[in-house]
């Protein structure tokens, strides 16, 4: 199957890339990838992001941790019942500490797994469509364009005065 090619533009200015994203989306280009040196909410807004599903991972992980904490302490106490300090076998207030710590632990680890899952990390693919400038200060924008719309995409990208424009007709990006 032939891969769809695309174009990679680098911009020096934040408003330039934001305008380019708006224009491309208006023209119907849906597969855009922005490369940003730091979290930039203008770009996320332009690309139309909603809520990140990572929050569900955090919630589920936290609740699992709390349940595990209470269940484990209670089960082990019942498994070998031994009265210490005149306290009940199942001493809920004391177990709150364990349940609390496990809520945090499971919640944090689950958040990280959620991040890796959703952001597709680790990413061992060769970095073909990338420029070291993207981690320094430039904003990159890659747009997937079918051959018949290649020149249209190019025109829109060029209208915002990119510092550099690279063609990727073989679709190395998709690799």
**Closer by beta carbon to another protein, 151 or else 161:** 161
**Closer by beta carbon to another protein, 1 or else 80:** 80
Is residue 81 a contact residue for another protein (CB under 8 A)?
no
Within 26-65, the residues that bind another protein by CB under 8 A are 32-40, 43-44, 47, 49, 52, 54-55, 58, 62
Is residue 165 a contact residue for another protein (CB under 8 A)?
no
Write out the two tokens for 45: 């807004």
Q: Which of 27, 100, 158, 159 binds another protein (CB under 8 A)?
A: 100
**Closer by beta carbon to another protein, 14 or else 151:** 14
């Amino acid at each position: 199957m032939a891969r769809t090619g695309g174009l990679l533009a680098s911009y020096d200015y934040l408003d330039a890339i934001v305008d380019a994203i708006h224009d491309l989306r208006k023209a119907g280009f849906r597969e855009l990838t922005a490369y940003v040196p730091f979290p930039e909410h203008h770009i996320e807004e332009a690309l139309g992001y909603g809520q990140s599903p990572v929050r569900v991972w955090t919630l589920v992980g936290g609740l699992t941790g709390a349940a595990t904490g209470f269940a484990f302490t209670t089960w082990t106490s019942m498994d070998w019942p031994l009265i210490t300090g005149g306290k009940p076998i199942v001493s809920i207030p004391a177990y709150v500490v364990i349940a609390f710590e496990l809520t945090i632990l499971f919640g944090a680890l689950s958040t990280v797994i959620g991040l890796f899952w959703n952001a597709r990390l680790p990413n061992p693919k060769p970095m073909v469509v990338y420029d070291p400038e993207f981690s320094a200060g430039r904003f990159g924008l890659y747009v997937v364009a079918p051959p018949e719309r290649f020149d249209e995409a190019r025109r829109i990208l060029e209208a915002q005065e990119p510092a550099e424009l690279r063609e990727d007709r073989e679709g190395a990006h998709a690799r």
